[in-house]
Amino acid sequence: MDERAALLDEIAHEMRETARWTGRTTLSPRVADALAKVKREAFVAPGTEPAAYENRPLPIGHGQTISQPFVVALMTELLDLQPAERVLEVGTGSGYQTAMLAEIADRVYSIEVIPELAERAAVALSSQGYANVELRTGDGGLGWPEQAPFDAIIVTAAAPDVPRALLDQLRPGGRMMIPVGPRHGDQELLLISKNAVGIGVRRSVLPVAFVPLTGGGRG
């Protein structure tokens, strides 16, 4: 069994093991296909390619990481993306999660606060042929107002609380995945569903450990 197939098997096992909390025993076909297709080695830092298909975070420089593949798959799964939808990603990082979203959604808008990471992600995404992604360098906690509302929002760094600007930019009926908690304390992965009157209904999914969200739009 090659490394990618072994990773897919490991993620399938973790989905079953965490189903009591997540409510999902398996990945949907769309997410499973995206996970199998996206080349993680194209998005890791130079020199870490041999570890690309290990089910763990990897450093990408500037104190940031490329997330664990299981967490990327789970967050994508819980967003329930549809092919015609538009999604906002806060924290482009290496572009790996971005690529996963681009495989499923119609359009992905992604914001990265660190210019060097944004540039590298742009090169990686272009090299892999993702033409339905628009990138911006800036404070992701402020969202992307001129492209709102979004059908789904995914945040790949932990905020002390859900940034109000992001909730405002989520359409009624939209979904948000975001890790919330302090830098060195307990964090939880939240699934937020925005109801018809604009209230975000929160559900805690799993305890997690993410790098902190930076920028003035926090909280």
Which sequence positions are flagged as catalytic?
67
Can you read off the two tokens belonging to residue 210? Answer: 């993410």
Q: Of 58, 59, 46, 79, which Cα lies nearest the Cα of 7? A: 58
DSSP string across 167-178 = HHTEEEEEEEEE
Can you read off the two tokens belonging to residue 80? Answer: 């329930």
As a whole number of angstroms, the longest Cα–Cα distance in the chain is 50
Q: Vertex 91, ends 152 and 59: CA angle to 5°?
A: 135
Strand-strand pairing, 170-180 and 187-194: antiparallel
Contact 28, 15 (CB under 8 A): no
**Alpha carbon 180 to chain centroid, angstroms:** 14
How many other β-carbons are positioned within 10 Å of the β-carbon of residue 37?
12
